[in-house]
Amino acid sequence: MPYEDTRIMLHPTKKNKHGYINASNIQIPINDRLFKYILTQNPLKTTIDDFYQMIWESDTRIVISFMDKNESHAEIYWPTKINEKLSIGDFSIRQQSSTITKGLTTTILNVKCLSSGEKRIIYHLNFTAFKKDLDGVPANIETFLSFVDAVNSFKRHIENEKMHDGDSGVFIPSLFNSRKNSYSRSRSKSTTRSTFMDVTNKIRSQSVEQVEQGNRWKRKFITNPTNQQSTSSNTSEISGISSTSNSSSGSTSFRTEYLEQQNPIIVHCMDGSSISGLYVLIEVIVHCIENNVNVEIPKLLRLLRQQRSSLIKNIHQYKFAYEAILVYLQRSRLI
C-alpha cells in the first residue's frame, strides 16, 4: 500500500470516486535535476482504466514493466500486434511498432484521449529475464544493465525532441541497441564530489501536497513539525538545490524551483515495490555515478523506502544491486 503523503491522486471519476490507485511518487534530486518515478503494481483487470488515466494525468512518456505475459496473473493492457487497437475508458491505444531483444520487448504506443482528441507517444519497455529459482532477481547482470541503458536512451531521445521542438514520436530501436556496450565510454570527472544525502536528508519529515498545473504534476514539500529532525546546519545547498530550515517557525522547505523538471517514469511489477524498487535503486546509483555524486546504497534505499514501503524484498535482490553496480563500474573503467 502507498503512503498517504506520497500516493498518486487521480481525478475522481464515476468508476473511481476517490481517485485512488496503488501507486507512489518517488523523487530523487541529483545536482540540478529531479528524477521522478511512479511505482505501482501491475494493472488488474479492474484497474486498467485507472492505469491509463495515471499515465495521461502524470504526462508519463515511458512505462517500465516487469511482467511475463505467459503468467496466469498477468493482465496484458497494451496491444501486442502492430496496428492493433484497444479502447480502454477514455483512451484509444494503438501499437505503432514492437522490437524484441534478449529479455526485453520494446513497444511504441500511440495513445489518444478521446475526450480531448490529444495524442501522445508512449514507450513501453517490458523486462522478462528473471531467474527461475530466485524470486524477483534478474537472470543476468549485463542484460539488466543493458535494459537500464535502453531506458536512458529513450530518456535522451525524448529530451532531444523537446530541445528541438520535435514531435515525430519515432524512436529507432538501433539507437539503444548500439548502446549495450557503452558502459566503457569516458566520463568527465568533477574536482569536487557532492554528497547525495546532503540534499535528501530532510525528506523523511516532509509530507507532500499534489498540485496540478495544466497537464503536469508538481510536488510541494511541506514539513510536519512534529517529525522534524535537528540538523547541524540550517541550509544545505548543492548545485542550486537547497533545503532551508527555519528554526524559529519549525518549518522546512525543499526547494525544487531551480531543478530541471522531467516527466516521471512509471515502473510496475507484481506488488509495485520489490522488482520496481530494485530497478529504481540501480538506476539512481548509475545517475549518481554519472554526475559525480557520492552515494551510500543503504542510505539511498532508506530514502526510497520513505517514499514507498517494501522496496527490495529479499537479500538476493540487495546482493544483485551491489553486484550490478560493481559490474557497471568495471565496464565504465572507473575501478
Q: What is the mean pLDDT of residues 226-246?
A: 33
pLDDT reported for residue 127: 96
Beta strands in the chain (DSSP E): 7-9, 20-30, 33-41, 62-65, 85-88, 91-101, 104-113, 119-127, 194-195, 206-213, 216-223, 235-238, 241-246, 251-254, 265-269, 293-294
Per residue in 75-84, pLDDT tens? Answer: 899 999 999 9
Q: What is the mean pLDDT of residues 306-316?
A: 94
Spell out the domain ranges in the chain.
Answer: 7-193+258-331, 201-254
Q: Which of 176 and 266 is assigned the larger pLDDT?
A: 266
Closest by Cα among 40, 224, 71, 65 to 151: 65
Question: By percentage, how much of the chain surpasses pLDDT 90?
Answer: 59
Residue that the C-alpha cell 535494459 belongs to: 147
Closest by Cα among 33, 301, 22, 300 to 155: 33
Q: DSSP assignment, residue 39?
A: E
Angle between helices 297-305 and 315-331 (to 10 degrees): 130
Ranges 4-8, 16-20, 68-72, 227-231: which has the least confidence? 227-231
State the chain's mean pLDDT as an integer. 78
Beta strands in 69-205 (DSSP E): 85-88, 91-101, 104-113, 119-127, 194-195
pLDDT reported for residue 70: 61
Q: How confident is the model at residue 50 (pLDDT cuts 50, 70, 90)?
A: very high
How many residues comprise the chain? 335
Residue 14 has pLDDT above 90, yes or no: yes
Q: What is the mean pLDDT of residues 91-106?
A: 95
pLDDT reported for residue 165: 58
Query: Is the Cα dihedral 82, 83, 88, 90 positive or negative?
Result: positive
pLDDT reported for residue 215: 39
Task: Report the SS3 class of residue 300.
Answer: helix
Output the pTM of the full model.
Answer: 0.76
pLDDT reported for residue 1: 82
CATH class for the domain made up of 7-193+258-331: alpha beta
pLDDT reported for residue 105: 95
Residue that the C-alpha cell 517514499 belongs to: 307
Residue 147 has pLDDT above 70, yes or no: yes
Q: Is the separation of the CB atoms in 111 and 92 below 8 Å? A: yes
Q: What per-residue string of b and e applies to 26-36 under the rule 16 or more CB within 10 Å gives b?
A: bbbbbbebbbb
Residues in CB range of 157: below 8 A, 6 or more apart: 171, 175
Whole-angstrom distance, CA of residue 223 vs CA of residue 179: 42
Q: Which of 162 and 172 is assigned the larger pLDDT?
A: 162
Per residue in 171-221, pLDDT tens? Answer: 444 444 444 444 333 333 333 344 444 433 333 333 334 334 443 343 333
Q: Is the separation of the CB atoms in 15 and 49 below 8 Å? A: yes
pLDDT reported for residue 275: 94
Query: Is the Cα dihedral 54, 87, 124, 274 positive or negative?
Result: positive
